[in-house]
Chains A and B, each alone.
Chain A
Amino acid sequence: MKELLIGNAAVARGLYEAGCSIVSSYPGTPSTEITEFAAKYDEIYCEWAPNEKVAMEVAFGASVRGKRTCCCMKHVGLNVAADPLFTLSYTGVNGGLVICVADDPGMHSSQNEQDSRHYAKASKVPMLEPSDSKEALEFTKLAFELSEEFDTPVFIKMCTRVAHSQSIVETSERVLPEDKPYEKNPQKYIMVPANAKLRHPIVEERTRKLTSYAETADINREEYADSEFGIITTGTCYQYVKEVFADSVSVLKLGMINPMPVERIKSFAQKVQKVYIVEELDGIIETHVKSLGIDCVGKELFSEIGELSQLAVATAFGLDMPRFASVDTNVPARPPVMCAGCPHRGMYYTLAKNKITVLGDIGCYTLGAMPPLNALDTTLCMGASVSGLHGYNKAGGKETEGKTVCVIGDSTFMHSGITGLVNIAYNATNSTVIILDNSITGMTGHQQNPTTGYNIKGDPAAKVDLETLCRAVGIQSVRVVDPYNLSECDTVLKEELAKEEPSVIISRRPCVLLKSVKAKPALVVSKDDCKSCKMCMKLGCPAISMHNSKADIDATLCVGCAVCTQMCKFDAIK
């Protein structure tokens, strides 16, 4: 059957058809939908793990027991899972194990644009890179076959443009693989030095075998046109090359990006007068090709920064650009904003008002860095706000402890904030940690997590009690506030900052976009009472604007949170 699917849904379909039965992932743009779509198939058990390391280890266990299994993550999530990855390469698998990692060149929704292909090379794990949804489905199925044939985990490498583009796929039925019962094998699965020393040569031999496979496999494809020049490319860049040249130039498309073939590349290079490499981010193919003694042009023409496109390819080859019109008027930017009624806003306003230094974390609440709140001072990676706060306060001592906090969401706290909090308690700083608990993983589109009380299917599940958890690691002072109540936020913040002990403030209110949250009637500004003081504008609420120098509330956006009502000294908002 022909279907129009986004790349991530096509991977999920591939998991289904390949007989994959266990998927464990942590959400992260642009990888999230793989697991969400996989969870729609009753035949696949899916879960949101607390973080990517846990997810990969779950996949390891499921593979050892003999099931086909998968874990999915965004590129930076692979950093978290890097520890199991490198040794999983040594143990190999029993049931096929596929790791889907989605890169984000151009950083549409990420804190960096690292190139995951480095991990494949470094961990000596094969990596397949589809260029559209059809290949995403096919490569996923092939990945399981390769995993079992070569006794290795296999990467599927996605990028934003493949993950989030719909194209046509051909679906087929699910085929269950043979059951592979677990057999005790300490030399393979117990990675103590004596055994790991035996496994490492097997890994090197495996890479040699996979290189031989890459020499002839259909997944790498030569499309020869003429000898003028040839382009070696992969993934979405292949589409850009074809968009510009169609079938008029010779192309070597690498579907398998690690390991790369040797003889096949040499043979291609001999057939053309000049070799170009078109790849996004780092020059990984280019380095390989040059290591074979082949002269080629890559990063001289194509930037290591951001995404490529058909325009980037055409420009590099000096082709004519399409003409286009533009306006002379300055078009104001439209950055994403915290929603009207977002529960984070009240706490951020309180922090900004008190001129608190705020170490931030990863999630919707990173938007608190934007004007007019400008509430954040740092954002590094998942969990870094908590551990960073401890370091900041160790360095600053009493001078900083009373006027510095960190903010971290409920899901991010479970992901990797808790270890930082253990450190604060154990190594003792008078740090104040604010958990912005909106009862959901927000930024990636509402995924459940261990604090919400529901699993990926929406069924009731065990619920981590954040207050108890924080006390259990050694924090005596744990307070809960409602971020819609500005005076409560202000009082509790000042009290906790003043204490000679570490503390946690849980700022708790569910995300306003959750279906379970019912909006209150929109608020209205009395034009007679409004004195145009613009205090309400300090909140940066998208529902409030100034019209004819009076505040005005957009009734279609306002959810009646009434934080602005508390800002108004003239009772003009009701």
Chain B
Amino acid sequence: MTKSIMIVGVGGQGSLLASTLLGKLLVTEGYDVKVSEVHGMSQRGGSVVTYVKYGEKVYSPIIEKGEADCIISFEKLEAARWVQYLKKDGVIITNTQQIDPMPVVIGALEYPTEILTELSEKVKVDALDALSLAEEAGSSRAVNIVLMGRLARQLDIPTDKWEDALRNVVKPQFIDINLKAFSLGYNYGE
């Protein structure tokens, strides 16, 4: 059975490291894996999405509406934008951070601040302030790893395997911050 995970956010937020970590981990675990994302700077500041699929045999690299077991959103508006891709019983893990898109910045549209409330009425939402947790871990740039820690709760892979994978993708001088960020995400709310 193929599992489908989507990582969504705003171009420049650092989802690449998250998908790299996840991809390497899943290959090590012996799965067939496909990771598909938009490359280049053309998406900077725009809505970006990465598809991660794994299982015994993965065919299509992309995820379609109603197919994602889990969506990890780096920003709450993006969680709402991509919710249609979630499976009926899937879960959205979202950072509660708000980043105004350009139509909001220039005052053409309002940011729907109550979006998480509406989302929670429709699907299973696991919301956390990943930015604060990342800062607590030692760097605001560790938002991605906080969210990966949260994702670890949804997958059947022991946390020590995650930590090994983390050591493989993060530079040694940043490993402590990232291990802490992972743990803060994993243990949030306990």
* Min CB–CB distance A491 → chain B (angstroms): 27
Q: Does B87 contact A (CB under 8 A)?
A: yes
Also in contact, A164 and B37, with CB within 8 A (given A322-B65, A332-B109, A545-B105): yes
In whole angstroms, how far apart are the Cα atoms of A115 and B58 in the complex? Answer: 26
Q: Does A77 contact B (CB under 8 A)?
A: no
Contact B112 A331 (CB under 8 A): yes
Contact A331 B104 (CB under 8 A): no
Contacting residues, chain A, for B100 (C-beta < 8 A): 545
- Which one of B27, B46, B61, B118 lies within 8 Å of A327 (CB-CB)? B118
Also in contact, A331 and B81, with CB within 8 A (given A444-B40, A444-B41, A446-B41): yes
Interface members, chain B 34-82 (any A CB < 8 Å): 34-47, 58-62, 64-67, 77-78, 80-81
In whole angstroms, how far apart are the Cα atoms of A165 and B23 in the complex? Answer: 11
- Which one of B24, B80, B88 lies within 8 Å of A323 (CB-CB)? B88
Binary contact readout A363-384 vs B (1 if CB under 8 angstroms, 0 otherwise): 0100000111000000000000
Binary contact readout A317-337 vs B (1 if CB under 8 angstroms, 0 otherwise): 000011111111111111111
Complex A-B, nearest 6 residue pairs according to Cβ-Cβ distance, in ascending order = A322-B66, A336-B46, A165-B61, A324-B66, A334-B101, A243-B60
| Most chain B beta-carbon contacts within 10 A, residue among A4, A166, A240, A321 | A166
Q: Does B86 contact A (CB under 8 A)?
A: yes
In whole angstroms, how far apart are the Cα atoms of A342 and B83 in the complex? Answer: 32
* Min CB–CB distance B62 → chain A (angstroms): 6
Q: Does A108 contact B (CB under 8 A)?
A: yes
Contacting residues, chain A, for B119 (C-beta < 8 A): 327
Also in contact, A542 and B45, with CB within 8 A (given A29-B40, A165-B61, A321-B66): yes
In whole angstroms, how far apart are the Cα atoms of A336 and B59 in the complex? Answer: 30
Contacting residues, chain A, for B189 (C-beta < 8 A): none
Q: Does B10 contact A (CB under 8 A)?
A: yes
Q: Does A267 contact B (CB under 8 A)?
A: no
Contact B33 A168 (CB under 8 A): yes
Q: Does B170 contact A (CB under 8 A)?
A: no
Contact B65 A329 (CB under 8 A): no
Residue of A nearest to B78 (CB): A334
Also in contact, A108 and B84, with CB within 8 A (given A334-B77, A372-B106): no
Q: Does A32 contact B (CB under 8 A)?
A: yes
Q: Does A520 contact B (CB under 8 A)?
A: no
- Which one of B24, B40, B115 lies within 8 Å of A329 (CB-CB)? B115
In whole angstroms, how far apart are the Cα atoms of A82 and B60 in the complex? Answer: 32
In whole angstroms, how far apart are the Cα atoms of A246 and B105 in the complex? Answer: 46
Number of interface residues of A (CB under 8 A): 62
Residue of B nearest to A539 (CB): B106
Residue of A nearest to B122 (CB): A325
Also in contact, A243 and B77, with CB within 8 A (given A29-B39, A322-B65, A537-B106): no
Q: Does A109 contact B (CB under 8 A)?
A: yes
Contacting residues, chain B, for A166 (C-beta < 8 A): 23, 33-36
Q: Does A445 contact B (CB under 8 A)?
A: yes
* Min CB–CB distance A312 → chain B (angstroms): 9
Contact A322 B58 (CB under 8 A): no
Q: Does B11 contact A (CB under 8 A)?
A: yes
- Which one of A29, A168, A242, A542 lies within 8 Å of B105 (CB-CB)? A542
User: Mostly helix, strand, loop or mixed at chain A's interface?
Assistant: loop
Contacting residues, chain B, for A332 (C-beta < 8 A): 77, 101, 103-104, 109-112
18 A-B residue pairings within 8 Å (CB atoms): A109-B38, A161-B61, A164-B37, A167-B35, A236-B61, A309-B62, A309-B64, A310-B60, A322-B87, A323-B66, A325-B123, A326-B84, A327-B118, A331-B112, A333-B101, A334-B47, A334-B78, A445-B41
Also in contact, A4 and B35, with CB within 8 A (given A167-B61, A327-B80, A545-B104): yes
Q: Does B140 contact A (CB under 8 A)?
A: yes
Binary contact readout A326-369 vs B (1 if CB under 8 angstroms, 0 otherwise): 11111111111111000000000000000000000000100000
In whole angstroms, how far apart are the Cα atoms of A559 and B63 in the complex? Answer: 36
Q: Does A401 contact B (CB under 8 A)?
A: no
Contact B42 A324 (CB under 8 A): no
Q: Does B157 contact A (CB under 8 A)?
A: no
Residue of B nearest to A335 (CB): B46
Contact B88 A167 (CB under 8 A): no
Interface members, chain B 101-129 (any A CB < 8 Å): 101-112, 114-115, 118-119, 122-123
Number of interface residues of B (CB under 8 A): 60
Kindly list 9 other residue pairs between chains A and B, CB separation below 8 angstroms, not including A326-B84, A445-B39.
A166-B36, A242-B59, A310-B60, A322-B64, A325-B86, A334-B81, A334-B101, A364-B41, A444-B41
Interface members, chain A 2-20 (any B CB < 8 Å): 2, 4, 6
Contact B45 A339 (CB under 8 A): yes
Residue of B nearest to A246 (CB): B59
Contact A325 B83 (CB under 8 A): yes
Contact B41 A442 (CB under 8 A): yes
Contacting residues, chain B, for A444 (C-beta < 8 A): 40-42
Residue of B nearest to A445 (CB): B40
Contact A443 B88 (CB under 8 A): no
Contacting residues, chain B, for A329 (C-beta < 8 A): 80, 112, 114-115, 118
In whole angstroms, how far apart are the Cα atoms of A242 and B23 in the complex? Answer: 22
In whole angstroms, how far apart are the Cα atoms of A562 and B77 in the complex? Answer: 29
Contacting residues, chain B, for A540 (C-beta < 8 A): 102, 105-106
In whole angstroms, how far apart are the Cα atoms of A542 and B43 in the complex? Answer: 14
In whole angstroms, how far apart are the Cα atoms of A321 and B107 in the complex? Answer: 38
Contacting residues, chain B, for A30 (C-beta < 8 A): 39-40
Also in contact, A164 and B36, with CB within 8 A (given A309-B62, A327-B118, A331-B81): yes
Q: Does A530 contact B (CB under 8 A)?
A: no
In whole angstroms, how far apart are the Cα atoms of A30 and B40 in the complex? Answer: 8
Contact B80 A311 (CB under 8 A): no
Contact A33 B39 (CB under 8 A): yes
Contacting residues, chain A, for B59 (C-beta < 8 A): 239-240, 242-243, 246, 310
Residue of B nearest to A167 (CB): B34
Contacting residues, chain A, for B47 (C-beta < 8 A): 333-334
| Most chain A beta-carbon contacts within 10 A, residue among B44, B81, B84 | B44
In whole angstroms, how far apart are the Cα atoms of A445 and B16 in the complex? Answer: 14
In whole angstroms, how far apart are the Cα atoms of A116 and B104 in the complex? Answer: 39
* Min CB–CB distance B10 → chain A (angstroms): 7
Contact B102 A542 (CB under 8 A): yes
Residue of A nearest to B104 (CB): A332
Contact A339 B60 (CB under 8 A): no
Also in contact, A29 and B84, with CB within 8 A (given A332-B101, A332-B103): no
Contact B105 A336 (CB under 8 A): no
Contact B86 A2 (CB under 8 A): no
* Min CB–CB distance B61 → chain A (angstroms): 4
Binary contact readout A469-496 vs B (1 if CB under 8 angstroms, 0 otherwise): 0000000000000000000000000000
